[in-house]
Chain A
Amino acid sequence: MRKEFRESIDRALHNTNLSEALGRFSEAYRSSRARAYEGIDFKALRTRIAEVKSSAASHLDSLSELFARNAEARGAKVFRTDSPEKVKEYILALARQKHVKRVVKSKSMASEEIHLNPYLEENGILVRETDLGEWIIQLAGQTPSHMVMPAIHMTREEVSELFSKEVNEQLSSDIPKLVKVARREIRGKFLEADMGISGANIAVAETGSIVLVTNEGNARLVTTLPKTHVAIIGIEKLVARIEDIIPILTALPKSATGQLLTSYVSIITGQTPNTDGSMKDLHIILMDNRRTEMANDPKFKQALQCIRCASCLNVCPVYRLVGGHVFGKIYTGGIGTILTAWFEGLKKSEEIQGLCIQCGNCKEVCPGKIDIPELILEIRRRLVTNEGQSLAQKALFSLVNNRRFFHAMLRTASLTQKPLAKEGFIRHLPMFLSDLTEFRSLPTIADVPFRDRFKEIKQPKLKEKAAFYVGCLIDFAYPETGEAIVRILNKAGIECVFPDEQTCCGALARYNGAYEVAAQNAIDNINALKKEDAQYIVSACPTCTVALKNEFINTFESLRKDSWIDKARVLSSRAMDFSTLITKLVDEGRLTFREGQQLGKITYHDSCHLKRTLNVHEEPRELLKKAGYELTEMFECDMCCGMGGSYSLKLPEISAPILQRKLKNIKDTAASVVAMDCPGCVMQIRGGLDKQISDIRATHTAELLAKQFK
C-alpha cells in the first residue's frame, strides 16, 4: 500500500463531516430500504433481474445489433464502439458539425468513465452538469464520491461557498435556498444549450428504447429542450425485451434511495419533435470498453448484472468511514472496485480492493445478485498471480501452516512480551506493533494449545463420534471454548475426536489472494479429516466452517483442481457450525436444558460468515434463550465488528472505528454479556471492551451454554 493511499485513508477518517454524513445516511438507508421493499419478494425479484441481465450479458453483440436496428428504424443514429476515445471523438465531431457551443448533461456514469467533460471543455465546448450533485462536484472540480449521490461528501457550507463563487453573490447555507439558486442558474443553461447529453439506465433491444430515471427532472429537460440529444450507454445496460424493464424499475429506486419509484421515468424510442417542430437529432452511443471481455470471463460475467443502485456502498462498513474518494476511482465502493479493475485495469484496483473487509453485507442486498466479495477475492487472486506474493506474506503462510511450530513461535513471542501480558490480555505492544493494541487488547497465547489440552480431557468412550475442527484462535488463544464444546457433545452422547494433522483452514491465504496456499491447506485438511470415521465435523469458528463447507470447493474450482472437488464436497456435507449442530441435538431430545434458569440480560452479535454465508442467526439466539438468558437486540446486530481476520492487522485504522461503533451498540443495550459464535469476533470485541475497561463480558456461545444442560 502506497504511503499516499494510507494518507488518504487517514485524511478521510479524520474528516468528521464526511464520516458523520455517511454514517447518518447508512443508518437511515437501512430502514428506508426495508420500508420500500415491504410486501415484495426481494429474493424472487433479484433472481429475475439476475436472469434478465445475465442472459443479456451472454448476447451483448446480438442485442447491440438488434437495438441499433430498431432505434435506427425509429430515426435515431446508433454508434457502436469499444473505445472510449472513439466515443469522445464522435461527440466532438458531432458538436462541431452542429456548431454546438453549450452542452447540458444529465447524470451519466459512462461519461464519467471516459472523462468526457474535460475533453469537451479542452475543445472549447461549455459543458454544464444539471444533476444537482453532479453540478456541485463539477464546480468543485472533483469526481463523484457515490454513484447515486455524487456530492454526499460535501456539507451545505461547502456547497454554499461553491455556489456563491459561481453566481457572484454571498449565499446562505440554507438548503432549500441553495436548491432554488441551482434551479434558477441551470434553467437558463437548459434553455440556451444546443446539445443534451444523457446516459441511460436501461436500453431495450427489441424496441430500440432507452429508459431514463431521475428525481430532479433534469433528464426530461436535457432530452426535450436542445435539438440534439446524445445518449452514452454502456452495453451492460441492454436488456432483450420491454418487460425486462419491470424488475429493474421495481428494484432500482428501492435499492438506490428507498423510493417506490423515482419522480420521473422516461422511455424514449427514436426521434421526437423538438420545440420548433423539427425532429430531434438523436444519437445513441453503445460503448463496450471491455464489457464484452468481462462477459466472456466466467468469474466476472456476473458483474454485468449491476443496475448501478449503489446499495453495496450504502451498507458497507468501510465505505461509510472513508467514502468514495478513498474507496473507489470513478466507480466507488464494492462494485466500483470490480468495475475499476476492468475499466481502468487490474493494477488500478490494487489498493482499493484491499479495503474490502469481506463482511458480505453488499452481497446480501445486491439487487443484481452479484457476489461482490467473491469477485473482490478473485481480483486479489489475480493480482497475486500477476504480481506475486510479498516475501513477508510468503513467510507468514509457511509459518501458519506448520501448526506446532506456529504455536511455539507465538508462545515464545508472548513469553518475551510477558511483562505486557495481564489477566489474559496483551494491552500494549512496542513500537511498530503498537497500532495493533491501541484500540483493543490482544489475547495472550495459551500455555498449552487446545490440541495438547485435548489429550488430557477425560471423555467417555462413545459410539457416535464428532471430529472437532479447532481453527487457530481456539487452538492457541481460547482453548476453553474447545473444552466447552467437548463437554456439551459428551452430554449428547457424542465423543469428540481431534484429527491431529488438521491445519489452517486457508482463510488467511485465500483472503490475501494466495489461492495456491489455500488449496494446499484444503488438501491437508481433507486428508486429515477423512481419516476419522466421524459422523459430524464440527467447528466453532464460522470462518473455518465456511472454508470447510464452501471455500475448499470454490478454491479448487478457481484453480481447476478438479480431482479434489468431489472430496471437498464429501467433507462439506459433513461439516457443521456449533450452533446448528447443538440446535439439532436439542431438537432430537439428546440435549435438555436445565429448567428455570434466570441468567440475566444478554445481547447477541452476528458474525459475518455465520449470518450471511451460513445463514445461521436464529439458532444461537434460540439456544441462549432456552438456556435462560434474556435477549436484548443491539442496533445493527449483524454489522461487522471490524476484525476481518488479518484485515485488523493490515488496516487497524479502519478496524478500530468499526469496532467503536459495535462497542457503543453493545453498551446501549445495558446487557452484561455479549454472545457471539466466532472466536475472531471474541478477540476483537473482548479486546475492545478490555481497552475501555468495561465490565461487559464478550463470550463464545459455546461457553455460555456449557453448564446449562442437564
Chain B
Amino acid sequence: MFEQFKTRAEAVSAEVHHFPTKTGALEFILQLLHTEGIADAMQSYAVWADCRFLTGIDRKKLAEKVPGLRFDVTREVASESRIGITQMDWAIANTGTLAQDSVQVEQRLASSLPSIHLALVGTDKLLADLPSFLNKMSPRESGSIAMITGPSRTADIERVLTIGVHGPERLIIVFVDELEERDG
C-alpha cells in the first residue's frame, strides 16, 4: 500500500518520505527547517501543532535549537509561518490522500496557512481506500474531518495547472514506522 500511496501522492505533486524511526524523521525535519531558513522573524516561523509525535520530545529544547520554531499555533503565528507541521491520522493509498480529525483549530491553521505543510503519519495508518477510511473515522465523533491530497492547486487561468493558491504550495509527507509504538 505504501508504494501505491507514494505513486498516487507524487502524481499530484506531493513529496513522500519514509523513515523507520522517529529519530530519523526528526533529523529530516530539522534539516528541512534549516534549509528553508526558519528564523525568529515574520514570514519565517515554523509552527508545529500538538501531536503524538511530540510525545517524549522536549519542545523547549527544540525551540531553542531552532529559533522561529513555534508550538503556539495561533492565527497570527501560523499566518506568518513558512512551514506548518501536523500529524495526520490516516493515509489513503488509492488516492494518495492524508486524513485527519481537525476539530482542534491548531491543526487546521498549521496545515492551511503556511506555504509548506509537513505532514507526519504512521506507516501503520495506511488504509486501502475511502470506504475503509470512513469505517475508521466518523463525523459522529469528529466534527471536522480534513482530507488532503497534494498541495493547493488551481487551473482557473487558461486551464494551466498552478500549484499553491490559498493553501500550501508544497506538501511534504513523512511516513514513520515506529511512530505509534513509542506512544503505546
A residues neighboring B (CB under 8 Å): 21, 24-25, 28, 74, 130-133, 136, 149-152, 154-156, 159, 175-176, 178-179, 182-183, 186-187, 190-191, 204, 207, 209, 215-218, 220-221, 224-225, 242-243, 245-246, 249-250, 257, 259-275
Contacts and interface: CB of A to CB of B under 8 A. Distances in A.
B180 to A, nearest CB: 24
A221 B164 CA distance: 14
Contact of B159 (A149, A150, A186, A250): A149
A216 B154 contact: yes
Contacts of A207: 138-140
A175 B139 contact: no
Q: How large is the interface on B (under 10, 10 to 19, 20 to 34, 35 or more residues)?
A: 35 or more
A266 B105 contact: no
Q: 3 closest pairs, A vs B, by CB?
A: A217-B167, A133-B156, A265-B147
Nearest to A276: B75
Given A175-B162, A215-B153, A243 B134 contact: yes
Contact of B158 (A155, A182, A183, A268): A155
A151 B109 contact: no
Interface of B: 8, 12, 74-75, 79, 94-97, 103-105, 108-109, 112-113, 130-131, 134, 138-140, 142-160, 162, 164-168
Q: Is the interface of B mostly helix, strand, loop or mixed?
A: loop
A644 to B, nearest CB: 28
17 contacts: A130-B166, A132-B156, A149-B156, A156-B157, A191-B79, A204-B139, A217-B112, A218-B165, A243-B134, A260-B95, A264-B167, A266-B146, A268-B144, A269-B143, A271-B143, A272-B105, A275-B109
Contact of A261 (B109, B147, B157): B147
Given A245-B134, A266-B145, 8 more contacts: A179-B154, A190-B166, A216-B154, A216-B167, A243-B134, A246-B130, A273-B103, A274-B105
A581 to B, nearest CB: 44
Contact of A273 (B12, B105, B165): B105
A370 to B, nearest CB: 24
Contacts of B134: 242-243, 245-246
Contacts of B150: 263
Contact of A269 (B94, B144, B146): B144
Nearest to A215: B153
A216 B152 contact: yes
A28 B160 CA distance: 12
A257 B156 CA distance: 11
B156 to A, nearest CB: 4
Most buried by B among A179, A207, A242, A259: A179
B159 A21 contact: yes
A268 B143 contact: yes
B165 A216 contact: yes
Contacts of A159: 157
A574 to B, nearest CB: 46
A263 B169 CA distance: 11
Given A246-B130, A246-B134, A179 B164 contact: yes
A217 B165 contact: yes
Contacts of B103: 272-273
Nearest to A136: B156
A151 B156 contact: yes
Nearest to B159: A25
B103 to A, nearest CB: 6
Given A25-B159, A216-B167, A263 B143 contact: no
Contacts of B145: 266-267
A152 B138 CA distance: 37
B124 to A, nearest CB: 22
Contacts of B94: 260
B149 A260 contact: yes
A225 B75 contact: yes
B7 to A, nearest CB: 11
Contact of B152 (A175, A215, A225, A266): A215
B51 to A, nearest CB: 17
A217 to B, nearest CB: 3
B165 A257 contact: no
B173 to A, nearest CB: 13
A74 B143 contact: yes
A221 B167 CA distance: 8
Given A21-B159, A216-B167, A263-B148, A224 B154 contact: no
Contacts of B165: 132, 179, 182-183, 215-218
Contacts of A218: 165-167
A263 B156 contact: no
A98 B74 CA distance: 23
A198 to B, nearest CB: 13
A269 B96 CA distance: 24
B32 to A, nearest CB: 21
A136 B167 contact: no
Nearest to B162: A179
B16 to A, nearest CB: 15
Contacts of B159: 21, 24-25, 28, 149, 152
Contact of B149 (A191, A263, A272, A273): A263
Given A216-B165, A218-B166, A242 B144 contact: no
Contacts of A268: 143-144
With a 10 A CB-CB cut-off, give which of B94, B104, B131, B153 has the most chain A CB atoms: B153
A275 B75 CA distance: 6
Contacts of B164: 179, 183
B166 A221 contact: yes
Contacts of B109: 224, 275
B143 A260 contact: no
Contacts of B155: 149, 215, 257
Contacts of B167: 216-218, 220-221, 263-264
B116 to A, nearest CB: 13
A242 B138 contact: yes
A216 B166 contact: yes
A191 B75 contact: yes
A262 B143 contact: no
B62 to A, nearest CB: 24
Contacts of B8: 260
A273 B140 contact: no
B135 to A, nearest CB: 9
B131 A221 contact: no
A216 B146 contact: no
Contacts of A183: 164-166
B131 A21 contact: no
Contacts of A225: 75
A217 B156 contact: no
A269 B140 CA distance: 8
A87 B168 CA distance: 34
Contacts of B157: 132, 136, 151, 154, 156, 159, 175, 178-179
B27 to A, nearest CB: 29
A221 B153 contact: no
Contacts of A246: 130-131, 134
Nearest to A17: B158
Contacts of B104: 273
B175 to A, nearest CB: 19
